[in-house]
Amino acid sequence: MNSIPGEKILITKKLDDFFIGLYSGCQFALRFFKEVFKPPYEFKEIIKQCYEVGYKSLGLITLTGFITGLVFTKQSRPSLSEFGASSWLPSLVAIAIIRALAPFVTALICSGKVGSQIGAELGSMKVTEQIDAMEVSATNPYKYLVVSRVLATTIMIPLLMCYTGGVAMLGAFLNVHQNEMTSLITFFQQAFEKISFLDIFSSLIKSIVYGFTIGIVGCYKGFNATNGTEGVGKAANSSVVLSMFLIFVEEILIVQITNSFRT
């Protein structure tokens, strides 16, 4: 009987922590929109972070995108063949990749690689008091560390998404060519017959939102890291978990909004 009040207190504390964290996270994100337009503009740091986010992710993105297109085509072929609709395969693959797989796969891969890197890097700077030292030296750490990284992820994730889509379509073409001997030009003509401007535009919007989410979550978790090296590990881990969760939620919302324009 005595454990019931204790459980209620624990639940109340967890709810309080959740809403406090939600509030501070929203404040952290809103501050970005205030700081991004104020000088000074850290162009060198932004370019450096774009290199870290974009170029250093190309290898993993290339492999993942190629395998995604190849495997999806392989898995879709038997189902379409049962109905004698193998000729629809290029269109089906293009719709799946451009509408969903390219932005979604890119975001998940980058949330694991880039999000954890940002969380660990800023978390390490936080627990070693480097961020506090920047404030003492009259440098705005939020402007230098957060704005540059969030801009880099917001810019580079859409570019990586386009690259992922191209590589995935190449993987799909190789499978189709192997089975039907379809030429490259014919494959892409059939693939893009059913693709509309809305499909491309919605994928770009998705990838921009995903990029912003990965950057802001990684920076928030790193900026609020505590408890030494253990806190750095927790910051990196929670950056990945939270950004992936938010990406799933954003995917549902954006798909619902996009589908409302299709009808």
pLDDT one-digit tens code per residue, 111-128: 999 999 999 999 999 888
pLDDT one-digit tens code per residue, 171-192: 999 988 888 888 889 888 888 8
> DSSP 3-state assignment of 135?
helix
On whether residue 29 sits in a domain, the answer given is no
On whether residue 58 sits in a domain, the answer given is no
Q: What is the pTM for the complete model shown?
A: 0.91
The percentage of the chain sitting over the pLDDT mark of 70, rounded to a whole number, equals 97
What is the number of domains present in the chain?
A: 1
On whether residue 8 sits in a domain, the answer given is no
On whether residue 42 sits in a domain, the answer given is no
pLDDT one-digit tens code per residue, 39-80: 888 899 999 999 999 999 999 999 999 999 999 999 888 888
| Predicted local distance difference test score (pLDDT) of residue 3 | 53
Take residue 73 and report the two structure tokens written for it: 């085509």
Range of the domain at 133: 68-73+88-263
Take residue 213 and report the two structure tokens written for it: 């989410």
Take residue 156 and report the two structure tokens written for it: 């580079």
The percentage of the chain sitting over the pLDDT mark of 90, rounded to a whole number, equals 57
Give the mean pLDDT of 231-243: 91
Left if phi > 0, otherwise alpha if psi is -120 to 50, otherwise beta: which for 84?
Answer: left
On whether residue 104 sits in a domain, the answer given is yes
On whether residue 140 sits in a domain, the answer given is yes
| Predicted local distance difference test score (pLDDT) of residue 1 | 46
Q: What is the DSSP letter of 86?
A: G
On whether residue 82 sits in a domain, the answer given is no
Name the residue with higher pLDDT: 248 or 79: 248
On whether residue 63 sits in a domain, the answer given is no
Q: How many angstroms separate the Cα of 48 from the Cα of each of 30, 53, 64, 112?
A: 24, 9, 24, 20
